Structures are given as structure tokens and as C-alpha cells.
Homo-oligomer: A and B are copies of this chain.
Amino acid sequence: MTSALASDLSARSPETRFERQLAKILEHATAVFCEKGYENATMRDLSRASGLSLAGLYYYFESKEKLLYLIQKHYFTTVMGQLSERLKDVSDPEERVRTFIQNHLEYFVAHFKAYKVLSHEDDVLQDELGDEIFALKREYYHSCAGLVEALKREKGLKFNSRIAIMGLFGSINWLHTWYNPQVDGDAPSLARQIGDVFLRGIYATSART
């Protein structure tokens, strides 16, 4: 049960004490938001979970909303960065789509609490903060769409891209409601099976409007 944020942000030494402590707070907050939901989680819950006083928390961020923003931004940015890294080594279009699926599943199975927060607290953030997170999500969607379009072009397939891709996103984003590692196996196995259904599905379909 090692901490993702802590290992990302606090385990390495050159970081400041402030950043390390903030990372710990964000990690605890992620767990609380996951368990109770953003709206139902109170600042007093976060205080208890992080071992800081209520007032002490506000030394690290300016509002509960901003805290959620920091969490969402961190995980979205990280999973996208990891995807870019992985895609560097893959050139086959089908394999690139599989890499997307596998990266998504591996990352979010490894950070399952954060994954639930990102999925469930999808439209809580408003205004500038919300816009910024929305832009990240759109970028992530488009990176997937680009991979599918490339495959479609290479194989000369005909299908409605938007519906197919949204269907795929549905499959991999719905995981948080049912996934149980002991029943459903690890992330690579899951990614292969979901990838199989999706790829066979689009290979064989024909276009209609």
C-alpha cells in the first residue's frame, strides 16, 4: 500500500518540505474523496486523515475545490505523460491502440482510488478550474482518437469513430464500479481481453449513418 503521490513527489530528496507534505495531504485526500465522495467528505475528515488540524490544512491549499483540482490535475497529467513515454517504442497501429488501453488500465489499477475520484468527481469543478481539467480530458480523448484513426486508415476500416471510441472509453472507465483484482485478473490480462473485443469489433463492422 505504498503511496503514489508520495513516491511521485515526496520520496525523492531534492523536493522541499512543503512539497513533500502537500503530496502526503493530497494522497490522504484522494483516499477520503474515494471513500465518501467529494461532497460528502468534510474538511474535518481530511484533517483527521492527514493528521493535521483543520486550520493547518489551509496553509497548503486555499480551498477544498482547489484541493480536488490539484488531485485531478496530477493524475491526468501523469497518466498522459506515461502514455507518451510508452508510445515512443511502438509503431504498429494496432499495437499502439493496445498500448493506450494497457497504459490506461495499468495506471488506474495501480492508482485505483485516484481513478475512482477522477471518474466519479467528473463534473464537480466549475469555471477556470473546471475548464482546465476539461481541457486535459479532451487532450486525453484526442490522443486515443488519433491512435484509432490511424488504425482505421491503415486497415481501411469503416465505422463511426466517435461512437466506437466513446464505447471503448465507457468500457475502461466503468471498471471502477466492478473491478476486483482477485476475480478479474491483473491489468495486462484485462487490457488484452477488452482490447480483443474492441479491435475485433471494429475490424468486422461496416459503416452506416
What is A's interface to B at a CB cutoff of 8 Å?
Answer: 37, 39-40, 122-124, 159-160, 162-164, 166-175, 177-178, 183-185, 189-190, 192-194, 196-205, 208-209
Contacts and interface: CB of A to CB of B under 8 A. Distances in A.
A194 B163 contact: yes
Contacts of A170: 170-175
Nearest to A168: B171
B122 A177 contact: yes
A40 B39 CA distance: 8
B185 A166 contact: no
Contacts of A40: 39
Contacts of A200: 200-201, 203-205
A203 B37 CA distance: 39
A50 to B, nearest CB: 22
B205 A163 contact: no
Contact of A190 (B163, B168, B184, B203): B163
A40 to B, nearest CB: 6
A160 to B, nearest CB: 6
Contact of A162 (B164, B183, B196): B183
Nearest to A123: B37
A194 B174 contact: no
Contact of A197 (B37, B39, B205): B205
Q: Which of A124, A163, A175 has the most CB of B within 10 A?
A: A163
B185 A209 contact: yes
22 contacts: A37-B123, A39-B40, A159-B197, A160-B193, A163-B184, A163-B194, A166-B174, A166-B175, A166-B178, A167-B171, A167-B194, A167-B197, A168-B171, A171-B171, A174-B174, A196-B204, A197-B197, A197-B198, A197-B202, A197-B205, A200-B203, A204-B204
A8 to B, nearest CB: 27
